[in-house]
Amino acid sequence: ALRDAAWAAQRASHDAREEGQAAASEAARAAVAAAGAAFLHPLVKAAQVKHILGSAVHAARACELAAGSDPAVGAERIARAKALAPPAVADVLRRYPAAPPGGGRVGDLMRRLDASLR
């Protein structure tokens, strides 16, 4: 069921992007990332950080876009995600390298949240 929901969210993200609905696309990507978090594997690669933090980061970007691409909104959402994260999140993150470079604004938000939690 979780994988089916993830595939449906992936389709929704694609469809929203095709229709020019960037915020909706990012919100759907947050759902995809939430489902993907259940499939974290022990490979010690920075890409795994995306599985851990992806849902919060894509949700922050969706809010940012919905507010007219206001970076202050994204920053506030990242700060809120940090405040809500239990210590176990930081414990898991420390098993992996820091979030990788690239990824545009989503990557920037990812690295900000990653650094703040470590």
Domain positions in the chain: 2-117
Three-state SS for 33-94 is HHHHHHHCCCCCCCCHHHHHHHHHHHHHHHHHHHCCCCHHHHHHHHHHHHHHCCHHHHHHHC
pLDDT digits (tens, 9 = 90+) for 30-58: 999 999 888 888 889 998 999 999 999 99
Helix, strand or coil, per DSSP, at residue 23: helix
pLDDT mean across residues, the chain: 95
**Cα distances (Å, whole numbers) of residue 96 to 40, 61, 114:** 11, 23, 11
pLDDT of residue 41: 81
pLDDT in tens, 7-20: 999 999 999 999 99
The residue type found at 33 is A
**Predicted TM-score (pTM) above 0.85:** yes
The SS3 call for residue 118 is coil
pLDDT band, residue 77 (cuts 50/70/90): very high
Lowest mean pLDDT among 35-49, 61-75, 82-96: 35-49
